[in-house]
Amino acid sequence: MEENLKRVREEIEKSREHSVTGEEVKLIAVTKTHGVDAIEEAIKLGVTDIGENKVQELTEKMDIIGDKVRYHMIGNLQSNKVKYIYRDVALIHSLDRLSLAKEIEKRAEQTDHIVPCLVQVNIGDEASKGGLAYDGVLPFLESILDYEHIKVEGLMAIAPNVEDEAYLRKLFRKMFALKEDIERRRYEGVHMNHLSMGMSNDFTIAIEEGANMVRVGSRIFGKRHY
Ligand SMILES: *Cc1c(COP(=O)(O)O)cnc(C)c1O
C-alpha cells in the first residue's frame, strides 16, 4: 500500500502541473469492501479523507475508526438512509435529485446542521449511473437555492468505464465548463470549490482537465473482492 500511495501521489502531482487550473488536488481514498485494518494503515500513511459508497458499511467503519479521518459518501444515497450519515460526513458527493435534497434539508434543519454536498452529474448519460443529466443541473441548483441547510460545494461525476482517452477528456472538460458557468452565475450560497472526478483508471486525465478532488480505490488498496 505504501508504494501504491506513493505512486498515486506522484501521478497526481505530475498531472496537476499540467492541469488547466494548477490547483491543489485532494485525494479521497476509496475504501469500500476493504477492512478497518487497511483504513488504519492508510491513515498512518497520511490519508486524511476516505470514500465509501454504502451507508451501512460507512457507518460501521465510522463507529470503529472515529474522527481520525474525514468520511465522504460517494455512492447512490437513498433518502431513507440520510438520517444515519448527514451529521458525520465531510461531504456527500451524490446529491442528484430533489427528493434527496428535501430529505437532507428536513433532517439538517431539525438538528441545526449544515450538510456540504456535491451535485452529481451523469456525464456519460449512462442508465446504470446516478446523477442529473447535464442539462438538468442548473434548474436543479436553482430549485434548492433556498435550502439553507444544504451547502452546495461543487460537482461530482463518474466517467464511463472506457479506454477512449479523447472521449473521457471531452466529458471532463464539459464538467469543468459547467463548474465555471455555475461560478459565474454567483448563486447565493453556492460555491464551486470542488470538482470531484477521476478514479483509478482516469484520474490523471481528470486532473489535467480541472478535477481538484479524485476518488481512488483499487490503485491504492488493490482489487476489490465483493
Ligand atoms: C468505487 C468508486 C471509486 C473508486 O474506484 P477505483 O476504480 O477503484 O479507483 C470512485 N468513485 C466512486 C463513486 C466509486 O463507487
State if residue 122 touches ligand 1 by the CB under 6 angstroms criterion: no
Please give the CATH number for the structural domain made up of 1-216.
Answer: 3.20.20.10
Instruction: Tell me which H or E stretch contains 59.
Output: helix 55-65
For the chain, count helices (H), then strands (E).
9, 8
Domain range annotation of the chain:
1-216
State if residue 72 touches ligand 1 by the CB under 6 angstroms criterion: no
CA-closest residue to ligand 1 atom 12: 74
Atom of ligand 1 nearest to the CA of 201: 7
State if residue 216 touches ligand 1 by the CB under 6 angstroms criterion: yes
| Tens-binned pLDDT, residue by residue, of the chain (226 aa) | 999 999 999 999 999 999 999 999 999 999 999 999 999 999 999 999 999 999 999 999 999 999 999 999 999 999 999 999 999 999 999 999 999 999 999 999 999 999 999 999 999 999 999 999 999 999 999 999 999 999 999 999 999 999 999 999 999 999 999 999 999 999 999 999 999 999 999 999 999 999 999 999 999 999 887 7
pTM higher than 0.95 for the full model? yes
Distance CA 132, CA 138 (A): 10
Helix locations, 66-213, DSSP H: 82-85, 98-111, 137-143, 165-185, 203-208
C-alpha cell at 155: 460537482
